[in-house]
Chains A and B, each alone.
Chain A
C-alpha cells in the first residue's frame, strides 16, 4: 500500500482551477518531485499536503489514514520553505530545537538530537549563529535540520534551492538526496527546474495547468515523453511537424525520414516527431540523406557544442563534439540525420496546446 496518497485533489480559487484531479501515490521512502512551470499548481498541491490549504475536493492519505482535515500542526510533516523561514530571534540550534520543544521532549534528549542534526547538515561550527549571520545555503541547511528534527512522517520541500546561487544549489541538492536516502524518509519535492527534478528524484510528476501530464522515473520522463508538453518542457527537443507517408516513414517539409515510432500509423496522419539534440548528427554537405540545412550558430558547452541549423524553415539543435563542430562553421551546408529508433512520435490531431515558449534547459 502506498504511504502518502494525493487522491483526486481538486482545488479552485474562485473561477481559477489550480488543481484538477491530481492523483499521486508515494511509496514509503520514495523521493517524488512535482515539476512544472510556475502557476502549474505544484506548490498548491504541496501546501494541501502540508495542511496550509484545503482541497475543494479529494483527500490526503498517510498510511491509510485520511489527513485532509487535520490542521497543519498535527500532521507531523517537516517542511522546508523557499527562504526566510528561520525564526530570526533564535540561533541555529534553537531553530532546530523548536519542534522538539513543542513536542515536550526532555531537555537531554533535545540537546542530543539537535547536536546530531546540526552535525548531519555540517553546521557544527555555526550552531550558535543567528539566521542573519548565516549564508543563504547555511540557512537552508538549518531549515532542513529543523524539519528533520521532529522525525516527520513526510518531508516536504517547496523549491528549497531556488533562492541560492548555482554552486550552492548543486551541492545542497546532492546533500538533500544523500540525507533522504540515509534516513529513508518519504519526500515530496516541488521545483520548476527540470534538471534538479530529474537528478534528485526516484520519480517525477510533470504538472501543467493543474493536471499531471506524466509521472515516471527520470529516464522515462526524459526519453519517453508522453505528451507534447512534457517533450517541450524537459530538456531541449527538436520538434518536427510531419505527415506519415508509409510504414515507419514520415514526410517533413518534403524530406522523407525513417522513424520507428511511425510504424503502424495510418498514412496521412499528422504527427510530431521529437528528436533530442544529442541524437542528431551532422554531416558536411547538404546533398546526403537526411535533412538538408545551413549552420546558423554555435553554442559552446564544453565537450560538446550545440550547433543551430536552419532546415525546412525551422531551427534545429544538434549537440555534437566540439572538435567536429569546429569543422562546421556558420554558413556551412549540412545534412542532419538521426537513428530511426531514437525519435519519439506523438499524434498531432488538434492544434496542440503546448506552451509557446518552453524553457530551454540543457
Chain B
C-alpha cells in the first residue's frame, strides 16, 4: 500500500478506536482508581445472565427458522424463477424501509387474532417471526451472493443425472457450496438479534438489548463495561464470518476450461 493509503487507514482506525478506548477506560474506573469492579458487577448480575441467554436462544431460533425458510427459497428462485429475483430482492430490502416500530405494532395486531394459542403469547419466542423478517435482507443478500458464485443449474442437473433426489441434492451438493453464505447470514442475524431493542421493548420482554438500555440509564461505569462486552460479541460474530469466508475449497470458484 502507498503511504497516503496508510494515512487514511490510520485516520479511519482512530475514528473507531478513540471512542472505544475512551469507553474501555471509563469501564475500568471505580471512583478514582482502576479495577475490574464494573465488569464483576455485570457478570454477577443474574439479570445479565438471564437476558443474555434469552437473547442467545432467540438468536439461535431465528437463525434456524431463517435458514430453513430462505435457503430453499433462494435456491428455487435461482433454479426455476430467475425472473422473480429482482422482486424478491426488493421485498428483502423492505425491513430496511419499514421501521421496526411499525413492524412490531403490526405483529402485535396479528397476534390479537383468536387462532394464536395463548400459551405462545406469553413466550418470548413470540419475537422470532418478527426477527426473521428483520433478518430477511441479511440472509437474502448473503445467500444470493453464495448462489450466484456457483452454477446452480448444472450442479443440480449433474446431481440428478447421477441419481440423487431433491433432498440429497440440496443437502450434499448445494448446501456445502453455499455454506459460507449461510454462515455469514447466520452471524449477521446473530448480531442483529443480540442488538434488537425496539421490538423486544415494545412487546415487553427483557432481552439483552433492553437490559443494556436499563443499565445504561441507571449505572454509569457498568454500562461502559457492558458496551465493551456487547461490542466483543458483535466483533466475534464478524470474525466468524471472516474465518468461514477464508476456509479453502469453499469460496474458490471452479475454473471451466479456457474460455
The B contact surface, by secondary structure, is loop
Residues of chain B from 172 to 203 with CB closer than 8 A to chain A in the complex:
172-173, 176-177
Q: Does A83 contact B (CB under 8 A)?
A: yes
Docked complex Cα distance between A137 and B259 (Å): 12
Docked complex Cα distance between A50 and B163 (Å): 11
Q: Does B17 contact A (CB under 8 A)?
A: no
CB pair B254 A86 closer than 8 Å: yes
CB pair B157 A52 closer than 8 Å: yes
CB pair B254 A79 closer than 8 Å: no
Known A-B contacts A85-B158, A87-B177; the reply to A73 vs B164 at CB < 8 A is yes
Nearest CB of chain B from residue A210's CB, rounded to whole Å: 22
Chain B residues with CB under 8 Å of A89's CB are: 173, 176-177, 249-250
CB pair B157 A72 closer than 8 Å: yes
Which of A71, A74, A85 is B154 in contact with, Cβ under 8 Å?
Answer: A85
Q: Does A78 contact B (CB under 8 A)?
A: yes
Q: Does A81 contact B (CB under 8 A)?
A: yes
Chain B residues with CB under 8 Å of A71's CB are: 160
Q: Does A41 contact B (CB under 8 A)?
A: no
CB pair A77 B161 closer than 8 Å: yes
Chain A residues with CB under 8 Å of B157's CB are: 50, 52, 72, 79, 81, 85
Chain B residues with CB under 8 Å of A72's CB are: 157, 160-161
CB pair A87 B155 closer than 8 Å: yes
Nearest CB of chain B from residue A46's CB, rounded to whole Å: 11
CB pair B163 A79 closer than 8 Å: no
Residue of B with least CB distance to A96: B162
Chain A residues with CB under 8 Å of B230's CB are: none
Docked complex Cα distance between A136 and B253 (Å): 13
Chain A residues with CB under 8 Å of B177's CB are: 87-89
CB pair B159 A98 closer than 8 Å: yes
Docked complex Cα distance between A73 and B253 (Å): 26
CB pair A150 B163 closer than 8 Å: yes
Nearest CB of chain B from residue A79's CB, rounded to whole Å: 4
CB pair A88 B249 closer than 8 Å: yes
Chain A residues with CB under 8 Å of B165's CB are: 73
CB pair A165 B257 closer than 8 Å: yes
Nearest CB of chain A from residue B210's CB, rounded to whole Å: 41
Known A-B contacts A88-B177, A89-B177; the reply to A99 vs B163 at CB < 8 A is yes
Residue of A with least CB distance to B176: A89
Chain A residues with CB under 8 Å of B172's CB are: 87, 98
Docked complex Cα distance between A76 and B258 (Å): 30
Docked complex Cα distance between A300 and B255 (Å): 35
Nearest CB of chain B from residue A77's CB, rounded to whole Å: 6
Q: Does B151 contact A (CB under 8 A)?
A: yes
Residues of chain B from 200 to 259 with CB closer than 8 A to chain A in the complex:
249-250, 252-259
Which of A98, A99, A132, A165 is B255 in contact with, Cβ under 8 Å?
Answer: A132
Q: Which of A83, A89, A137, A164 has the most CB of B within 10 A?
A: A89
12 contacting pairs across A/B (C-beta < 8 A)? A73-B164, A77-B161, A79-B157, A82-B154, A83-B154, A84-B254, A87-B158, A132-B253, A146-B162, A150-B163, A163-B258, A165-B257
Interface residues of A (CB under 8 A from B): 50-52, 71-79, 81-89, 98-99, 102-103, 130-132, 135-137, 139-140, 143, 146-147, 150, 156, 163-165
